[in-house]
Amino acid sequence: MHDDAGLQALREAARLSPDNLPLRQHLAGQLLAKGYLAEAEAEYRAALVLAPKNADITAGLAEAFVRQSAFGAALAALEPLLASPGYPPRLGVLAARALFGEGDTARAGYRYHEAVSRDPSVADADLAARLSAPPAPLYATAPPAAAAPADETSTEVEHSGLTFADVAGMDTVKEALRVKLLLPIQQPELFAAYGKRAGGGVLLYGPPGAGKTHLARAAAGELGASFVNVGLADILDMYIGSSERNLRATFELARRNRPCVLFFDEVDALAARRSDMRQAHTRQVVNQFLAELDGVDQNANEGVLVLAATNAPWYVDVAFRRPGRLDQPVFVPPPDAAARAAILRILCRNKPLAEMDFDAVARVTDQFVGADLKGLVDRAVEVKLQQSISAGRPIPLSTPDLLAAAKSVRPTAVREWMATARNYVMHANDSGAWDELMPWVKGKW
Ligand code: ADP
């Protein structure tokens, strides 16, 4: 109680002086010490914006990540500092803990011993003991033979009527998906000639509502493949403890319906939820997911294309991005004015329309993503429907209707998303993973 009152006072003080670095750092340290990990993470991140590359803050942030089992994120935070020779040895130990958490015992051992040889006081007896233990198996053991029938998952198979023609704008993204997913299947000889084979998954990332799910569904239709849409958070929540079985069943469902696009939404949930799940169990789910992605044998996933989506790519474990897994990140950007006009045109298709000036609506919907535009059109249609019922005849939708609706709908989180992305691009991009975002985060949002 007393502790929390002290914390509360610190929080309040930090809120009143957001630029007071020592205060924020102190608050973050207290939060970390008391186990408020997510909040500590947020505080350290805010502090890092004030003092980029500060070793103490980076160490705090990395520890908050490690203790939430967000090992990839911890490594991403540490990377900029680890790159310079003579980095503080305790950062090396933190990196070792993260690498060990990822199952990369060899690199963890290297980092650990390098750090301790420079400063023996940073030694971590527990980690040292675990590093010298015989290696744990890379993957969780196969589920018991009496595993539940594959149909146990409530996931359904869809046959998407959508194609890329239903996805407005995003020409670069569509082209990237064509090359990565469609061409290898449509022209296997050409790919084989260059020693490349179809396979591996694509990680779609971008602000919420920008059209990742829509795009995945359209890719399935474009390919004439079935579509299985899985919310990973659902899989994890459904029956804690049966998550591995649910995952297995989902992959089996996709394999029985090949060619199939298997779409995992919120793939970061695997990392983000680790904090509130028993760690050993979570590790097993992650391992199971990776094992299924890799396929039990080489042909297990033939005809199964895995697309995953996330609004928070920085939380996705680097283990997921290794070759053959979700090794191809594709940024799904917020639409520009021309794309917004095209999305509006698609959303208004098959509705009674007056002559429309979609460009005019696009001009007043800066920062709207696809989902926001859908909300806008739905609202305008509702109003029109009411008017038509009163008038007793259909009144076509017009440009002023959309302009009026635009005034009453607020865009969702693009600006906040870009601010977060900017942090990662500026401060945790030494591996170049977020290069594609650079021109975007430099724009005005
Ligand atoms: P995300 O998965 O990125 O959160 P969604 O794919 O769910 O976003 O997008 C929400 C809705 O917005 C879609 O159902 C679709 O109606 C519309 N939408 C988004 N992007 C486009 C687009 N490029 N073209 C047409 N409609 C789009």
Q: What is the tens place of the pLDDT at every residue in 352-397?
A: 888 899 999 999 999 999 999 999 999 999 998 998 888 888 889 9
Report the CATH number at residue 298.
Answer: 3.40.50.300
Considering the domain boundaries, does residue 140 fall inside one? Answer: no
Residue 260, phi then psi, degrees to nearest 5: -145, 140
pLDDT at 295: 78
The more confidently predicted of residues 39 and 284 is 39
Considering the domain boundaries, does residue 62 fall inside one? Answer: yes
pLDDT band, very low/low/confident/very high, at 328 (cuts 50, 70, 90): confident
CA of 92 to the centre of ligand 1 (A): 42
pLDDT at 7: 86
Closest residue by Cα to residue 215 from 157, 156, 162: 162
**Cβ < 6 A, ligand 1 pocket:** 167-170, 208-214, 309, 343, 346, 370-371, 374
Bond before 18 cis per omega within 30 degrees: no
pLDDT at 145: 35
pLDDT at 280: 61
pLDDT band, very low/low/confident/very high, at 271 (cuts 50, 70, 90): low
Q: What is the tens place of the pLDDT at every residue in 16-71?
A: 888 899 999 999 999 999 888 889 999 999 999 889 889 999 999 999 999 888 88
Are 263 and 213 in contact by the 8 Å Cβ rule? The answer is: yes
Distance between CA atoms of residues 62 and 85, nearest Å: 19
Task: Tokens 């079985």: give the residue.
Answer: 245
**Quick one: 320 and 212 in the same domain?**
yes
* Three-state SS at 94: helix
Q: Which amino acid is at 266?
A: E
Number of domains in the chain: 3
Over 90: is that where the pLDDT of 94 sits? yes
* Three-state SS at 104: coil
Are 55 and 95 in contact by the 8 Å Cβ rule? The answer is: no
Task: Tokens 């608050």: give the residue.
Answer: 27
**411, two tokens:** 């865009």
Q: What is the tens place of the pLDDT at every residue in 301-323?
A: 878 889 999 988 887 877 788 87
pLDDT at 141: 33
Q: Measuring CA to CA, how many Å separate 144 from each of 245, 254, 276, 281? A: 10, 21, 26, 16
**Quick one: 276 and 369 in the same domain?**
no
**206, two tokens:** 């971008």
Give the nearest ligand 1 atom to 169 CA: 23
**Quick one: 249 and 355 in the same domain?**
no
Are 247 and 285 in contact by the 8 Å Cβ rule? The answer is: yes
**Quick one: 92 and 225 in the same domain?**
no
Are 62 and 94 in contact by the 8 Å Cβ rule? The answer is: yes
CA of 167 to the centre of ligand 1 (A): 8
Which residue's CA is the nearest one to ligand 1's atom 18? Answer: 370
CA of 209 to the centre of ligand 1 (A): 6
pLDDT band, very low/low/confident/very high, at 197 (cuts 50, 70, 90): low
pLDDT at 139: 31
Which residue's CA is the nearest one to ligand 1's atom 16? Answer: 374
Q: Which amino acid is at 346?
A: I
Give the nearest ligand 1 atom to 204 CA: 3
Considering the domain boundaries, does residue 267 fall inside one? Answer: yes
Considering the domain boundaries, does residue 225 fall inside one? Answer: yes
Which residue's CA is the nearest one to ligand 1's atom 5? Answer: 211
**Quick one: 28 and 124 in the same domain?**
yes
Are 347 and 374 in contact by the 8 Å Cβ rule? The answer is: yes
Looking at 331, 357, 388, the residue that finishes a domain is 331
Which residue's CA is the nearest one to ligand 1's atom 17? Answer: 370
CA of 164 to the centre of ligand 1 (A): 12
Looking at 69, 100, 130, the residue that finishes a domain is 130
Over 80: is that where the pLDDT of 154 sits? no
Q: Measuring CA to CA, how many Å separate 407 from each of 209, 336, 386, 401? A: 19, 19, 19, 10
What is this structure's pTM? 0.64
- Label residue 303 left, alpha or beta by phi (over 0 means left) and psi (-120 to 50 means alpha): left
Mean pLDDT check: name the lowest of 152-156, 300-304, 337-341, 374-378: 152-156
pLDDT band, very low/low/confident/very high, at 120 (cuts 50, 70, 90): confident
**Quick one: 250 and 316 in the same domain?**
yes
CA of 28 to the centre of ligand 1 (A): 37
**Quick one: 327 and 351 in the same domain?**
no
pLDDT at 147: 38
Q: What is the tens place of the pLDDT at every residue in 219-253?
A: 999 888 899 998 776 677 655 667 778 888 889 99
**360, two tokens:** 């005019």
pLDDT band, very low/low/confident/very high, at 276 (cuts 50, 70, 90): very low
Considering the domain boundaries, does residue 429 fall inside one? Answer: no
Give the nearest ligand 1 atom to 207 CA: 3
pLDDT at 26: 93
Considering the domain boundaries, does residue 11 fall inside one? Answer: yes
> How many C-alpha atoms does 401 have within 13 Å on its Cβ side?
22
Over 50: is that where the pLDDT of 148 sits? no
**300, two tokens:** 């297990």
**Quick one: 327 and 342 in the same domain?**
no
Distance between CA atoms of residues 334 and 169, nearest Å: 10
Give the nearest ligand 1 atom to 346 CA: 25
**Quick one: 32 and 53 in the same domain?**
yes
Looking at 71, 103, 130, the residue that finishes a domain is 130
Distance between CA atoms of residues 248 and 75, nearest Å: 29
**Quick one: 241 and 306 in the same domain?**
yes
Residues above pLDDT 90, as percent of the chain:
32
Which residue's CA is the nearest one to ligand 1's atom 10? Answer: 371
CA of 211 to the centre of ligand 1 (A): 3
The more confidently predicted of residues 144 and 305 is 305
**359, two tokens:** 């460009």
CA of 213 to the centre of ligand 1 (A): 7
Give the nearest ligand 1 atom to 215 CA: 6
Give the nearest ligand 1 atom to 214 CA: 6
Considering the domain boundaries, does residue 65 fall inside one? Answer: yes
**Quick one: 212 and 327 in the same domain?**
yes
pLDDT band, very low/low/confident/very high, at 282 (cuts 50, 70, 90): low
Considering the domain boundaries, does residue 361 fall inside one? Answer: yes
- Calculate the average pLDDT of the chain: 83
Task: Tokens 């983000």: give the residue.
Answer: 272
Give the nearest ligand 1 atom to 206 CA: 3
**Quick one: 101 and 177 in the same domain?**
no
pLDDT at 1: 45
Q: Measuring CA to CA, how many Å separate 120 from each of 93, 103, 159, 394? A: 11, 24, 60, 80
pLDDT band, very low/low/confident/very high, at 151 (cuts 50, 70, 90): very low
Over 50: is that where the pLDDT of 144 sits? no
Q: Measuring CA to CA, how many Å separate 189 from each of 181, 193, 279, 298? A: 14, 6, 45, 18
Q: Where are the alpha helices (DSSP H) in 274-413?
A: 279-294, 337-348, 358-363, 370-391, 399-408
What's the chain's length in residues?
Answer: 445
Which residue's CA is the nearest one to ligand 1's atom 14? Answer: 214
pLDDT at 263: 94
pLDDT band, very low/low/confident/very high, at 199 (cuts 50, 70, 90): low
Mean pLDDT check: name the lowest of 150-154, 196-200, 224-228: 150-154
Give the pLDDT mean for 171-180: 84
Q: Best of 177, 214, 336 to mutate for ligand 1, by most ligand atoms within 8 A of CB? A: 214
Over 60: is that where the pLDDT of 274 sits? no
Note down the domain range covering 50.
5-130
Over 80: is that where the pLDDT of 200 sits? no
Report the CATH number at residue 13.
Answer: 1.25.40.10
Which residue's CA is the nearest one to ligand 1's atom 1? Answer: 209
